[in-house]
Every structure is written in structure tokens, then in C-alpha cells.
Structure 1
Amino acid sequence: METKKTAQKTTSKTVAKKAGKTPAKKDAAKQLKDLFEDSLKDIYWAEKALIKALPKMHKNATDKKLKAAIEKHFNETKVHVKRLEECFASIGKKAQAKKCDAMQGLLDEGKSIMEETEPGAVRDAGIVSASQKVEHYEIATYGSLAAYAKVLKEKDCLNNLLATLSEEKKCDALLTKIADTAINSKAK
């Protein structure tokens, strides 16, 4: 026989399902602070994965300006990791990475593009496209994290997040300029 508590739980799940709501995991974020910390873990993983992926992109690129942009962003990404570690320290948490499925998908797509294109301008155009998808993800993530940090009054972390957000935007603009002024025309 079903207890009243079990019946309420079943009814709540049924209502949530019918409304299109996803039931939360047991360890789901309950407060903005929890979401902030989870998001920091995701982007920390993402930046560390990017450090491994950028040398492969650099090796496969042929355009000198693109290679220089990738190298510059590789060096910036190392700083981004350090800033995230400072964020964790400023909120009294140990720096911890949690696999970021979004970044993994973007990096897998970038790898596929390199495998499915001939070396030269077409591959360079693909590398730019894949890189900009990564940049846009990072821009969205750092923008959200900065907004959370502002509300949570995490000033030290906010400053680090805003510095990284600015660099991500500059990298995206540089990639657009490189693609528009040379690579896409050569790939035509």
C-alpha cells in the first residue's frame, strides 16, 4: 500500500514531467552560491582541456596570423586557469575541475574539423570557426559567472572573471578579423 508521502512524491514527479520540468538531482544547486561554485568547476575543467587542445590547433594551422593568435590565447589560457584558482581561493574552496560536457563537445567538433579538412586555408577556416565557438561559450560562461559574483559580493573573484571575459572577447574579435581579412577568401 502506498504511503501518503510516496503518493505526494509520485504526484510531484508526474506534474513536473507533464509540465516539461526536469526533476533535480539529489546534489542539485539550491542557491546561487552553489550554481556559482559548480560553474567555476566546469569552466576550470574547460580551460585546462583547452590548454591541451590549443597546441594541436596550432600545429594544424598554416596561416601565420592564426598561429600567432592561437599561441597568444594559449598563454592567456594559462593565466585564466591561475585566475580561476584565485577565485576558488577567494571563496574558501579548493580548485576543483568538473567535466564540462559543453567544452568537450566543442573540442571534439574542432578535432573532427581538422580531420575532415585538407591542410591549408580550408582547415584554417575550420579552426577559426571551431575556436570562435569555444570563445563564445567562454564569453557566455564568464559573463554569467561575473554576474553571479557581483550578486554574491565576491569582489576579488569578480575582478578576475571580468579580466578573463575581456580577453575572451578580444580573442574572438581577433579571430573574426583574421578570418575576414585573409583566411576565408583563401579558402574560397
Structure 2
Amino acid sequence: MKIDNLEQLFLHGLKYVYDAEQQLTEALPKLVQASSSPELRQAFEQHLQETKEHVARAQQIFKQCGQQPESNPNAILKQMSQEVEQMIQNTDEGPVRDAALIVAGNQAEHYEMAAYGSLKNFAELLGKQEAVQILQKTLDEEKKADALLTKIGESSVNQQALHRSAAATAR
């Protein structure tokens, strides 16, 4: 489909984030299961619940636009998910894997923050005030999830991964 105007670009982008959120509802339980840090596991569980809400919010925006919810296959999130699965297979349970999961989570959050920020701006320009509010709420949750993952990494997991690496090297 050729995109000729901002309205079409907005809907096109919404279809990508809708697919991304659906993919994340499938991927996040794997991150929960692969995490050894209780704090990290809880952060992923909490974000899974938020992600389910993000799917519902995207559906709400589609409805406001007079559209049926529809996905555009999001190859970026699919590739990220495949890389996470490989990382899980290539690491032992523990802080090194947890550090890798935090990186993966941060990468997904940054992608989502960029997408939602652009969609929010498009909605503002298009006069879609209800969509702006919904997108802002989701954007705020993505930023909060990113900050929490960073905090978990910096406050404990990364240091534990360093000590694990040093202990393995000393053997």
C-alpha cells in the first residue's frame, strides 16, 4: 500500500506497534522464565501486564479511527525475539544471562519509545486528542519500564555478572 499522507502513515505505524505489542505478549513470559533475579522477573511480569494493556489501547485507537485492528508484521521485534532466544540458549542461568536479558529489554523499550513518540506527534498534528492521551500513557509506561530495567542492571545484576565472569576466569 502506498502511503500518501500523515493519516495513512499514522495508521501504518499503529499497525507495526500493534504487532510489536502482540509479539511481546508472547516473548515476555520467556524472559520471566529465563530470569534468575527475582527483581528482574517481577519487572518482566509487570511489563507483561502493561503490554497486554498496550494491545487493548492500540485496538481502542484503531476503533477511534474507524478502523479494524490490524497488524503489519514487525520484523524488527521478530529479530529481537530470535536473538533473545539464542542468548538464552547460549548462556547459563544466572547474572550473565540476566544482564543479557536486561539489554534485550532495553532495546525493545527504546524501539517502542521511538515508535510511540512518533505516533503521538502524528496524532497531535492530526488533531486526534484521545489518541494523543492514550499514546502518551503508553509512552510513559515504556519509559518507566526502560528505567526500571536500567536500575536493576546498574544496582545489582551487572555487578553480579562481573563477579561471575571474574570467578570463571580465575578457574
Smaller-chain TM-score range?
A: over 0.9
Kindly report the root-mean-square deviation, in angstroms, between the aligned alpha carbons of the 2 structures.
0.6
Partner residue of 2:52 out of 78, 85, 104: 78
2:159 counterpart residue number: 185
1:38 counterpart residue number: 12
Mark the structure with the bigger radius of gyration: 1
Residue 12 of structure 2 aligns with an amino acid whose one-letter code is D
The share of aligned pairs that are identical, in percent, is 37
What is the CA distance between 1:158 and its match in structure 2?
1.0
CA distance in 2, matches of 1:110, 1:153: 38
What is the CA distance between 1:105 and its match in structure 2?
1.3
Structure number with the higher helix fraction is: 2
Partner residue of 2:140 out of 166, 171, 176: 166
Aligned partners of 1:145 and 1:161 also within 8 Å:
yes
CA distance in 2, matches of 1:165, 1:118: 33
Is structure 2 residue 12 aligned with structure 1 residue 28? no
2:167 counterpart residue number: none
Is structure 2 residue 118 aligned with structure 1 residue 144? yes
What is the CA distance between 1:102 and its match in structure 2?
1.1
Aligned length: 162
CA distance in 1, matches of 2:157, 2:106: 14
CA distance in 2, matches of 1:152, 1:73: 29
Instruction: Could you list the structure 1 runs, at least 4 aligned residues long, displaced by more than 4 angstroms after superposition.
Output: none
Structure 1 residue runs of 5 or longer lacking an equivalent are 1-26
Residue 164 of structure 1 aligns with an amino acid whose one-letter code is T
**Residue pairs, 1:98-109, within 5 angstroms:** 98-109=72-83
Partner residue of 1:156 out of 130, 134, 138: 130
What is the CA distance between 1:99 and its match in structure 2?
0.4
TM-score, normalising length: structure 1: 0.85
What is the CA distance between 1:106 and its match in structure 2?
1.3
CA distance in 2, matches of 1:39, 1:112: 28
CA distance in 2, matches of 1:56, 1:101: 19
Structure 2 residue runs of 5 or longer lacking an equivalent are 163-171
